[in-house]
Structures are given as structure tokens and as C-alpha cells.
Structure 1
Amino acid sequence: MRFIPTRFHGILDYVVGLLFIVAPWLFDFSDVTYATWIMVAAGVLVLLQTVFTDFEVGLVRKIPMQSHLMVDFGLGVILALSPWMLNFDEQVFMPHLIGGLFAILASLTTHRVPSRAYNTQHAHEDTMR
């Protein structure tokens, strides 16, 4: 069941992307190299993808929303499994597991197409060019 509007998903992406980037210092695991870089890279990917997605809060609008959601799903799987794949699970795993599961859940519950109002406005902008 998809019930999260794309606009809300995008706003969450900006917040979550920043949270992922600061998580190693916020949750005190910055001394675990792989854990830190995986989380920071995930945050940067979330932010970049959001900026480039064609939806209400995207700035460049080149990535279709369906592609965005597929990347969210894949990133979630990798993030959730990374502590065990890269053998840092004995030092830290909960932020990666929770963040990954959140990304998977968000990808499965967000609308695949931006709102009708956005689509109507966007179509009108395209005809004006």
C-alpha cells in the first residue's frame, strides 16, 4: 500500500540524508572506518538523488520518481546488511540496520508518481519552453 506523498518523501530525504551524514558523530561510531564511510556515502547519495529527482522538492529534476524509489530500496538493503557484509557488526550495526529498513519501507510505501497538481504545473512549464 502506497500512502506517502512524494512531496513528504522528498522532505524526509533531505532530513534523512543529513542525518546519515552526521550519524557517525551523533551516535559515536566515527572511529569505525567502514561504518562511518558507508553511512556518510548513503547520506550523500540520498541528498544527491533527491536534488536530481523529478518531483516537488527536486531541483534538477532528471531522475523519474520510480527510479528514485528503486535506488532507495537497493540502498536500504545494502545499508541494512553492510555491518555484516563488511564485518563491523560487533562495533556498530543498529544505525545501519534501522536506516536501511527505513529506506526500504519508504521505498515501498511512497507514491510512484508525484501529485496531480505537480504534474499539471510541470506539464505547463514544459509547454512554455
Structure 2
Amino acid sequence: MIPTRVHGVIDYLVGIVLILAPYILGFADGTAAQWVPIIIGVATLGLGMITRHELGFVKIVPMTTHIIIDVASGLLLLASPWLFGFADRVWWPHVLVGLSYIVISLLTARHSPVESTVRA
């Protein structure tokens, strides 16, 4: 199992990578290919900041809910090249990060030590 603290670090890194990837990898063209990872990256950073884990700033969202949202985000990112019709131009970054995020989320501990000290 991946500890929730490590998952928190991964969240912040993945969020930044998703925001920067279109510019670094050359698909910042104003289309869904660019905006899907940017939006998911911003959402990932925001979710990490409000999750009840060691690296959350405002501990609102339970870790289990966070993991469910991460898996859904990974699935959306994975499918986005075909859902939004840009698979003919770029697909591998979306698929690679989407799959990685699903696997990481499924391997993460479901409860943070912080959750037991924070009331719902």
C-alpha cells in the first residue's frame, strides 16, 4: 500500500505535470488535448489541498472520497483522446498519466492517520 502522505506528494507532482505537459510536449493548441490535462491538473491540486491527509491544508474531503475522484479523473484522462476526438494528434501522455493515476490510487491506503483526528 502507498501511504497517504506519499499519495499527497504524488498528487501535487501530478497536478503540476498535467498543467505543464501540453506546453512541454507541444500540444498546447487551445483544444481539448490541452485543456483536459490542465483542468484535471488544477482539480488534482485543489483536491489535494482539501483532503484529510497529512498534506491537506483544509481537511474536508475524506481519503476514500479522494481516491474515488482520483480514479474517475484517471479514467477521464485515459479516455479523453477518444472522447474528445484528438487521438489522431496526441494520446500517449493522457493514457500514460491516466493509467498511472488509476493504479496509484487503487494502491493507496484508504485512510489517513489525520482522519482520525479530524471530525466530519
TM-score, structure 2 normalization: 0.94
**Deviation per CA, 1:81-105, whole angstroms, max 9, x where unpaired?**
0000111000000110011101110
SS at match of 1:73: helix
2:112 aligned to which of 92, 105, 114: 114
- 1:44 corresponds in structure 2 to 42
In the alignment, residue 77 of structure 1 is paired with which amino acid?
L
- 1:81 corresponds in structure 2 to 79
- 5+ residue gaps, structure 1: none
**Deviation per CA, 1:9-56, whole angstroms, max 9, x where unpaired?**
001100110010000001111125111000100100100000000110
- 2:17 corresponds in structure 1 to 19
How far apart, in 2, do the equivalents of 1:107 and 1:14 lie?
14
How far apart, in 1, do the equivalents of 2:22 and 2:79 lie?
17
In the TM superposition, residue 76 of structure 1 has moved relative to its aligned partner by: 0.6
Identity of aligned residues (%): 38
Q: CA RMSD in A?
A: 1.4
How far apart, in 2, do the equivalents of 1:21 and 1:46 lie?
10
TM-score, structure 1 normalization: 0.87
Change in Cα spacing, 1:40 to 1:119, as seen in structure 2 (3 Å) is closer
Equivalent residues of 1:32, 1:91 under 8 A apart: no
Large movers: runs of 4+ above 6 Å: none
SS at match of 1:31: coil
